[in-house]
A = this chain, B = another copy of it.
Amino acid sequence: MTRMNRQWRLARRPMGEIQDGDLELATVPVPALEEGQVLVRNVYLSLDPTNRIWMSDMDQYMPPVQIGEVMRGGTVGVVEESRDPNVPVGARVVPWLGGWQDYAIVPGSVCNQIPPGFPMSAILSSMGLTGVTGYFGLLDIGQPKAGETLVVSAAAGAVGSIVGQIGKIKGCRVVGIAGSDEKCRWIVNDLGFDAAINYRTEDVGAALDRLCPHGIDINFENVGGEIMDAVMARMSNFGRMALCGMISQYNASGPVSGPKNFTAILMRRLTVRGFIVSDYMDRWGEAVAQIGLWVSEGKIKYKVHIEQGLEHAPQTVKRLFTGDHDGKLLVEVSPPPPGG
C-alpha cells in the first residue's frame, strides 16, 4: 500500500494576518527512498513567529518559502524507513526542518538522534529550539552581570520565559512584559521574575519607570514596535539589546519605521544586535547540556502547549500573534512513541 503524505503548501503570501487559503493541504504519495535517505514520521511540529517571516517575501535571513513549496517548520519524529546504516528504524530524530507534513524524507546525515530520557517535546522547546535561542541571546549578546536589570518582552513565551529564568540564575533583576494577568502571575510566582507588566492593561513606560528606577541594562526583545520604544527610552549607558524577534511587525504589509528614539543607541552607547539561533549551531550542545542541568535542578521550568492535528496547523499558528497559547506551541502530527 502506498504511504500518503499530507503537506501544507504555501499557496500565496499572506497580506497582514494569515488567512484561510494562504496555505493549502495537498496529499501526495511518499516516494521511495534513495541511498542515504531516511523517512521520518513527524511527531511534533514547532510553530514559531518566524514562520510568518518565511511566508512573506520581506528581507529575511533565509530564502522565503516559495509559492507551492511545503511550508518550512522545525519537527521531531521517528524513523520509519532507513537507507542510512547509522540511523535505525525506530530512532527518535530531529530532521531539523521537517516541514508542515506527515513525513519528511531527509539525508540520514542531517538527523540528530534524540538521547534517551529526553522528551521529544523538550527538543523543540526548553532543551532545543527556543531554549537555545534564549540561552545564547541572553548570555552571548546580553552579557548579564549580577545586579543588572533585564527586561524581557513576550516574557511568558517559549523564549522569553527561559530568558528570564536564566537572567535570575545570573543574578539579574528581571522584569517581564506579557499579555495577560495570568501570564504575569505565572512568570512572577512560578518562574521567579521580580516583576511583570501586562502591556494590555498597563502603561508600559510608566510601569518600567516604576520597576526599573536605575534604568535597563539588558533588553531581550521579542516584540518590537511600541513596546521596544518604551524599553529603549529607558536603557542605561552601555546597555545591550538582543533582538530576537519583532513579532509586532510581522503582519505589517511593508517596512516598519525604526524605533522613535534611535539616536539613544548613540547617546547611551547601546549595543543592539540581532541574532538567529542557527548562528549558534556549533555550540548547540553546550546550551542543551546547561539548560538540561538547570531543568533537572528545578531552576528552569517550561510549558509546552500541544494542539492536535496537522490539519489544524494554519489555525494554530495564528495563536502566536494573539497570545492565545500557554507555552511553546507545538502541533502533534502523529502519536509520540511510548515515553514521549
Contact = CB atoms under 8 A, between A and B. Distances in A.
A315 interface: no
A263 interface: yes
A113 to B, nearest CB: 29
A270 interface: yes
Counted per complex, copies of this chain come to: 2
Interface stretch (A98-106, A150-158, A271-279): A271-279
User: Most chain-B Cβ atoms within 10 A of its Cβ — which of A53, A245, A255, A259?
Assistant: A255
Interface residues of A, number: 36
Interface string A261-284: 111111111111111100100000
B259 A269 contact: no
A256 interface: yes
A220 to B, nearest CB: 13
B269 A61 contact: yes
Contact of A267 (B61, B267, B271, B272): B61
A263 B224 CA distance: 9
Interface in A221-262: 224, 233, 237, 243-246, 249, 255-262
A59 B269 contact: no
A262 B269 contact: no
A65 to B, nearest CB: 15
Interface string A283-317: 00000000000000000000000000000000000
A322 interface: no
User: Most chain-B Cβ atoms within 10 A of its Cβ — which of A224, A261, A267?
Assistant: A267
A2 interface: no
A60 interface: yes
Nearest to A53: B267
Contacts of A237: 61
Given A255-B260, A257-B260, A270 B266 contact: no
Nearest to A275: B269
A3 to B, nearest CB: 37
A262 B257 contact: yes
Contacts of A259: 258, 262
Given A271-B271, A271-B273, A273-B272, A243 B257 contact: no
Interface of A: 53, 58-61, 224, 233, 237, 243-246, 249, 255-276, 279
Given A257-B257, A266-B274, A272-B272, 4 more contacts: A60-B267, A256-B262, A258-B258, A266-B276
